[in-house]
């Protein structure tokens, strides 16, 4: 590796690195400026670079003596020390005040911050205050310090000089990461890595402690940040991408999965299964499916052993999913449509017999690097919390309180999908309060705001039922057919629509 000063003599390239775009069935490299935000990317971040350069110069020393460090870490430190930025003392105080006992979690909070701020020179949060995770909100005072530090330490120049080092490491990831994501897109029949309008992003970081993988999700963005290591973290990127694709399915069909929750009790006896899997059945089920998918993509000679290993570690549904996946492979639906079949097929009695005498591994599985648990959705705040509160009130049949909560949600946010959720809730309240004319108008307003597939399918079912009650059978039939055509709609709504096509909705209901 050339020294930092030698690298500075190379012709710098633009701050936006070449980006890996993963679109089944093609893998291409293009300029970052040409990439749509929702596509999968492998890149480096100037915001992360600035944040990590600042804390490295201000007392963050985790892994500083490790031979696995990239030389760039020490070279950036030395370059900043020579420049003696006036803001560094204030940043030292800030880092000292926000120090964590666990150095991995200390790095994690700054990585999260770097992911949620715009790049230099402003370092403004990309999300509203109520949307920020608590660990990031706690670092809000760092922004003004970074604005000064970026200018005083001449970070723009250091970032440009660092490009060859990032390019070299990214090149090591490019081919194996492309192959892994392409294979998973093909197996799950996912048409593009921009899944349901969401974004999967991998960032390479060369200034943090080596041999770490940090996975974070914020709203519709899913990030994997890998620090320097002797070998690329391809297996971890692969698992993270599977979580990115499968976590929304477990959430979407959570009600059906919860009916099978009894199976999760057996995992409580796995001595080395992480607590977050024991406490969250949906997460346990998702990781069990991930392990089953990985076994199906492995050579046939290794599959049984991989399933057995996953079971012994405590992923108790892996054998079930491994048995069901061959049937999935023989049909044509994508996993996002077929997933309910995997859940419905869980036979509690069969799984109880399978797990009755399972022997969990007595020794903890050894991993070469430490990985934080998969990202959990941030605790609901602001409009998201209001929406959850309104839905809860509706489920408890407190209609007037639910109506007020949904009205409050309309005032709290301008987000289109949340407005759709509000009108969908208000429409259901109007229907329950026997005001069909208002309910119909509110359901139609819901459709205008592009609701999520579940709410769209149910909205069309409700409109069909209202038309049936008004004696407009032809209109009702059109709504039921439209509900059946919603891609990714609710399975229960689909069943209701099928019933609506068979016979008119009875007035007594």
Strands 213-218 and 221-227: antiparallel
- Which domains, from first to last, does the chain contain? 4-232 (no CATH), 253-355 (no CATH), 383-502 (1.25.40.10)
pTM of structure: 0.64
pLDDT tens, residue by residue, 362-395 = 755 434 444 445 555 444 457 878 887 888 788 7
- Scanning the structure block, which residue is given the tokens 């999965």? 257
Q: CB burial class (10 A; 0-12, 13-18, 19+) of residue 361?
A: middle
Q: Which residues of 410-434 are buried (b: 16+ CB within 10 A; e: fewer)?
A: bebbebeebbbbbbbbbbbbbbeee
CA distances to 161, 277, 376 from 288, in Å:
44, 10, 16
Report the alpha-carbon distance of residue 384 to residue 413 in Å, rounded: 9
Q: How confident is the model at residue 11 (pLDDT cuts 50, 70, 90)?
A: very low
Helix (H) / strand (E) containing 28: strand 26-30
Identify whether the C-beta of residue 419 lies closer than 8 Å to the C-beta of residue 410: yes
- pLDDT of 508 reads 54
Which H/E stretch holds residue 200?
strand 199-205
pLDDT for 136: 92
| Confidence at residue 117, expressed as pLDDT on a 0 to 100 scale | 94
Confirm if 39 and 22 have CB atoms less than 8 A apart.
Answer: yes
Q: What is the per-residue pLDDT across 477-487, written as a single tens digit (0 to 9) for each?
A: 999 999 898 88
Measured CA to CA, the distance from residue 153 to residue 151 in angstroms comes to 6
Q: Identify the residue with better confidence: 107 or 220.
A: 107
3-state secondary structure of 54: helix
Secondary structure percentages of the chain, helix, strand, coil, to 5: 60, 5, 30
Instruction: Return the higher-pLDDT residue of 444 and 388.
Output: 444
Average of pLDDT values for 87-109?
92
Peptide bond into 254 cis (omega under 30): no
Q: pLDDT tens-digit profile of 141-151?
A: 999 999 999 99
The pLDDT assigned to 119 comes to 85
The answer to whether residue 317 scores a pLDDT higher than 50 is: yes
Query: Does residue 21 carry a pLDDT above 50?
Result: no
Mean confidence (pLDDT) of the chain: 85
The whole-angstrom separation of Cα 116 and Cα 203 is 13
């Amino acid at each position: 590796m050339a020294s930092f000063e030698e690298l500075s003599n190379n012709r710098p390239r633009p701050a936006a690195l070449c980006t890996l775009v993963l679109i089944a069935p093609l893998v291409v490299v293009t300029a970052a400026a040409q990439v749509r935000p929702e596509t999968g990317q492998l890149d480096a971040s100037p915001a992360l670079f600035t944040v990590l350069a600042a804390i490295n110069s201000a007392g963050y020393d985790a892994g500083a003596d490790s031979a696995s460090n990239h030389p760039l870490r020490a070279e950036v430190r030395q370059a900043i020390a020579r420049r003696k930025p006036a803001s560094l003392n204030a940043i030292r105080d800030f880092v000292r005040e926000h120090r964590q006992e666990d150095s991995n979690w200390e790095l994690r909070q700054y990585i999260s911050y770097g992911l949620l701020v715009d790049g230099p020179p402003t370092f403004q949060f990309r999300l509203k205050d109520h949307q920020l995770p608590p660990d990031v909100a706690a670092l809000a005072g760092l922004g003004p310090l970074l604005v000064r530090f970026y200018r005083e330490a001449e970070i723009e120049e250091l970032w440009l000089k660092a490009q060859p080092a990032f390019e070299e490491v990214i090149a090591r990831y490019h081919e194996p990461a492309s192959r892994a994501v392409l294979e998973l897109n093909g197996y799950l029949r996912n048409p593009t890595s921009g899944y349901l309008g969401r974004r999967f992003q991998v960032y390479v970081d060369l200034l943090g402690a080596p041999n770490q993988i940090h996975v974070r999700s914020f709203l519709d963005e899913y990030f994997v940040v890998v620090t320097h290591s002797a070998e690329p973290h391809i297996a971890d990127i692969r698992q993270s991408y599977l979580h990115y694709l499968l976590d929304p399915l477990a959430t979407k069909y959570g009600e059906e999965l919860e009916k099978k929750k009894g199976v999760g009790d057996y995992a409580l006896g796995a001595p080395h299964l992480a607590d977050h899997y024991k406490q969250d059945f949906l997460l346990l089920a998702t990781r069990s499916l991930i392990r089953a998918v990985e076994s199906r993509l492995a050579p046939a000679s290794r599959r049984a052993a991989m399933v057995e290993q996953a079971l012994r570690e405590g992923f108790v549904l892996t054998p079930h999913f491994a048995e069901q996946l061959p049937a999935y492979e023989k049909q044509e639906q994508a996993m996002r449509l077929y997933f309910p079949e995997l859940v419905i097929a869980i036979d509690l009695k069969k799984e109880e017999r399978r797990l009755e005498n399972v022997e969990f591994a007595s020794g903890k599985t050894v991993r070469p690097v430490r990985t934080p648990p998969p990202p959990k959705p941030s605790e609901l705040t602001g409009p998201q919390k209001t929406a959850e509160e309104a839905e809860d009130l509706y489920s408890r049949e407190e209609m007037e309180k639910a109506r007020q909560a949904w009205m409050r949600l309309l005032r709290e946010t301008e987000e289109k999908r949340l407005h759709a959720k509000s009108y969908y809730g208000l429409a259901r309240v109007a229907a329950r309060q026997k005001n069909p004319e208002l309910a119909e108008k509110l359901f139609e307003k819901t459709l205008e705001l592009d609701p999520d597939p579940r709410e769209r399918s149910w909205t069309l079912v409700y409109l069909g039922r209202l038309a049936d009650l008004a004696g407009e059978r032809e209109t009702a039939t059109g709504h039921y057919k439209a509900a059946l055509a919603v891609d990714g709609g609710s399975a229960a709504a689909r069943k209701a629509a099928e019933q609506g096509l068979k016979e008119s909705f009875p007035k007594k209901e």
